C-alpha cells in the first residue's frame, strides 16, 4: 500500500446512508489530517468537512 500525500475522492459517500457517511468522514478527517484531499461530491453534508469548497454552478 502506498502512503500518498494527496488523495483524490470522487463521490466517496454517494451510495451510503447518513450514519455511515458520518463515520467515513470522521475517519477521513482523523486519519488523513496531514494529507491533501481533493473531493468531488454533490452532497453538502459530505463537503462539510472541507477547509475550502469550490462551488461551480
pLDDT, one tens digit per residue, over 2-55 is: 789 999 999 999 999 999 999 999 998 998 889 999 999 988 888 888 999 988
Q: Is residue 56 part of a domain?
A: no
Q: Is residue 36 part of a domain?
A: yes
Query: How much is the pLDDT for 55?
Result: 83
31 is in which domain, residue-wise? 6-47
Q: Is residue 57 part of a domain?
A: no
Q: Is residue 1 part of a domain?
A: no
pTM of the model: 0.76
Question: Residue 4 contacts by C-beta under 8 Å, 6 or more apart in sequence?
Answer: 35
Q: Is residue 55 part of a domain?
A: no
Q: Is residue 26 part of a domain?
A: yes
Q: Is residue 54 part of a domain?
A: no
The count of structural domains within the chain is 1
Q: Is residue 52 part of a domain?
A: no
Amino acid at each position: 500500500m502506498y502512503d500518498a500525500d494527496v488523495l483524490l475522492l470522487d463521490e466517496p459517500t454517494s451510495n451510503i446512508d447518513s450514519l455511515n457517511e458520518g463515520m467515513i468522514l470522521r475517519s477521513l478527517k482523523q486519519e488523513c489530517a496531514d494529507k491533501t484531499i481533493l473531493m468531488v461530491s454533490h452532497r453538502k453534508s459530505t463537503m462539510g468537512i472541507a477547509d475550502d469548497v469550490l462551488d461551480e454552478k
